[in-house]
């Protein structure tokens, strides 16, 4: 099968003068090489495409692929993760991973919470702060946890995210509104254990690949798995395989959220316990990082004895169950 690969290369955006935090969601060259190597090892013919503008130019020039392995995060807009698959949908080219609707929905953490809550998935109570005037309207009990409503890779999550009073709420919300120019999600702080759940498959065939726990150490910054903790995690936290009752409960909640949001093929869901030990949905990443030896989903695969090529193969197996017409290509 001739498979195009869409992605945003971090070095390309660094070259434009963007900061480390601004480029945190984008991929390293190592990731693209690993994906293409795995696809080749599985008997396919990968072709690098690049970001959404490169994709648009290629399509206009007449280039086509049997399918596209899409890990393109997008650069601008609240639906930026949906841009590449939406363009491919217009050209009737199927994509690995979730469709434009799910990707746009998942990026907005509040919208995703509303959908999964409607399906009975536990979430912390939350409010959305659209502007400065909304800050005084937040009537949730303290402590609260604040972050931008539509960022990934822990951007906007740091030492100031947990707030204990009205003044802290005002200060952090104002700072996030000014810095990220988007609404702020304020939710009741979840004080329990934090899990990352890897999932493969689609719909009724989706399965938990494994569960890891984020365990802070003395150098952990703040009270959340934010940018500074993610970027250089080695001296700040431990990521460990877990398979106890709490981890299994986290996996069950994650699967329910995965199917409620109609996610496809593979990704990651973050779960945290409330004060009573109830596993609560935090957010979903249907375009999870897949950098070997670095990304949470790859750690989970390693813990479960799944090689990188096998992990990519699981994504493709799910994709091909949705597109049996491509199996013999």
- The CATH code of the domain that includes 184 is 3.30.1490.20
Q: Name the residue range of residue 131's domain.
A: 125-188
Query: CA distances (Å), 249 to each of 149, 194, 211, 242, in order?
Result: 26, 12, 10, 11
Q: Which two tokens stand for residue 151?
A: 């960022």
**Statement to judge: residues 207 and 317 lie in one domain:** yes
What is the overall mean pLDDT for the chain? 94
What is the spatial distance between Cα 229 and Cα 237, in angstroms, rounded to a whole number?
Answer: 7
Does 195 share its domain with 158? no
Final residue in a domain of this structure, among 60, 77, 97: 97
List C-alpha distances in Å: 28 to 10, 93, 289: 6, 25, 10
What residues does 284 pair with on adjacent strands? Answer: 269
Give the per-residue pLDDT at 303.
97
pLDDT at 213: 96
Q: Does a structural domain hold residue 327? A: no
CATH of the domain at 34: 3.40.50.20
Name every residue whose Cβ is closer than 8 Å to that of residue 203 and which is 6 or more positions away in sequence.
Answer: 259, 262
Domain shared by 171 and 200, yes or no: no
pTM above 0.85, yes or no: yes
Into how many domains does the chain fold? 3
Flag whether 104 is in a domain. no
Q: What is the pLDDT of residues 211-232, one digit of tens each?
A: 999 988 877 766 667 566 565 6
Yes or no: say if 266 and 315 are a contact pair by the CB < 8 Å rule.
yes
pLDDT in tens, 132-178: 999 999 999 999 999 999 988 678 888 899 999 999 999 999 999 99
Which residue has 């690995």 as its token pair? 96
Cα 88 to Cα 54: distance, rounded to the nearest angstrom: 12
Q: Are residues 199 and 292 in the same domain?
A: yes
Same-domain pairing of 169 and 212:
no
Residue 245 lies in a domain: yes
Burial bucket for residue 122 (CB in 10 Å: 0-12, 13-18, 19+): middle
pLDDT, tens digit, 9 for 90 and up, residues 71-124 = 999 998 989 999 999 999 999 999 999 999 999 999 999 999 999 999 999 999
307 and 246 in a common domain: yes
The pLDDT value given to residue 307: 98
Residues 133 and 12 in one domain: no
Confidence of residue 16 (pLDDT cuts 50, 70, 90): confident
Domain identity same for 285 and 217: yes
Residue 244: CATH number of its domain: 3.30.470.20
Alpha carbon distances (Å) from 143 to 78, 84, 146, 165: 28, 38, 10, 7
* Full DSSP string of 174-241: HHHHHHH-S-EEEEE---S-EEEEEEESSGGG-EEEEEEEEEE-TT--TTS--HHHHHT-TTTEEEEE
- On whether both 202 and 278 belong to a single domain, the answer is yes
Q: Which 3 state secondary structure label does DSSP give 65?
A: coil
Q: Assess whether 169 and 89 both reside in one domain.
A: no
Kindly state the DSSP code that residue 66 receives in the 8-state scheme: S
Nearest to 130 by CA among 115, 150, 112, 116: 150
| Residues of the chain above pLDDT 70, percent | 95
User: Which of 97, 115, 135 corresponds to the end of one domain?
Assistant: 97
Q: Residue 119 falls within a domain, yes or no? A: no
Which of residues 38 and 14 earns the better pLDDT score? Answer: 38
Picking from 97, 171, 168, 104, the residue whose alpha carbon sits closest to that of residue 132 is 171
The strands making up 126-129's β-sheet, listed across from edge to edge, are: 126-129, 184-188, 144-148, 162-163
Is 8 domain-assigned?
Answer: yes
In a domain, 23, yes or no: yes
Q: Is the pLDDT of residue 291 over 90?
A: yes
Say whether both 208 and 316 belong to one domain. yes
Within a domain: 307: yes
Are residues 255 and 293 located together in one domain of the fold?
A: yes
pLDDT value of position 218: 73
pLDDT value of residue 232: 63
Q: Is 210 within the bounds of a domain?
A: yes
| Residue 58 to residues 1, 91, 155, Cα–Cα distance (Å) | 18, 12, 31
pLDDT in tens, 246-277: 999 999 999 999 999 999 999 999 999 999 99
């Amino acid at each position: 099968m001739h498979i195009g690969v869409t992605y945003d290369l971090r070095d390309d955006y660094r070259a434009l003068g963007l900061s480390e935090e601004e480029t945190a969601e984008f991929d390293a060259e190592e990731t693209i090489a690993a994906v293409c190597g795995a696809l080749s090892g599985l008997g396919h013919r990968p072709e690098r495409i690049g970001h959404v503008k490169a994709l648009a130019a290629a399509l206009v020039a007449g280039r086509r692929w049997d399918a596209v392995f899409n890990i393109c995060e997008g650069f601008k807009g609240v639906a930026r993760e949906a841009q590449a698959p939406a363009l491919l949908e217009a050209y009737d080219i199927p994509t690995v991973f979730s469709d434009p609707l799910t990707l746009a929905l998942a990026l907005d953490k509040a919208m995703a919470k509303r959908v999964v809550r409607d399906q009975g998935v536990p979430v912390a109570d939350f409010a959305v702060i659209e502007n400065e005037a909304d800050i005084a309207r937040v009537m949730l009990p303290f402590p609260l946890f604040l972050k931008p409503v539509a960022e990934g890779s822990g951007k906007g999550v740091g030492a100031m995210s947990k707030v204990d009073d009205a003044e802290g709420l005002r200060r952090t919300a104002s700072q996030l509104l000014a810095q990220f120019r988007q609404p702020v999600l304020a939710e009741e702080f979840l004080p329990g254990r934090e899990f990352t759940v890897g999932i493969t498959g689609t719909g009724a065939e989706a399965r938990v690949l494994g569960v890891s726990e984020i365990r802070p150490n003395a150098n952990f910054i703040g009270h959340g798995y934010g940018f500074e903790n993610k970027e250089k995690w080695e001296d700040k936290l431990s990521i460990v395989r877990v398979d106890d009752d709490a981890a299994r409960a986290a996996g069950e909640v994650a699967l329910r959220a995965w199917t409620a949001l109609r996610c496809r093929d593979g990704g990651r869901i973050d779960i945290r316990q409330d004060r009573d030990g109830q596993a609560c949905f935090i957010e979903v990443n249907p375009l999870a990082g897949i950098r070997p030896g670095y990304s949470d989903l790859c750690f989970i695969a390693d813990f479960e004895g799944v090689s990188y090529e096998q992990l990519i193969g699981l994504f493709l197996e799910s994709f091909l169950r949705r597109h049996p017409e491509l199996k013999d290509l």
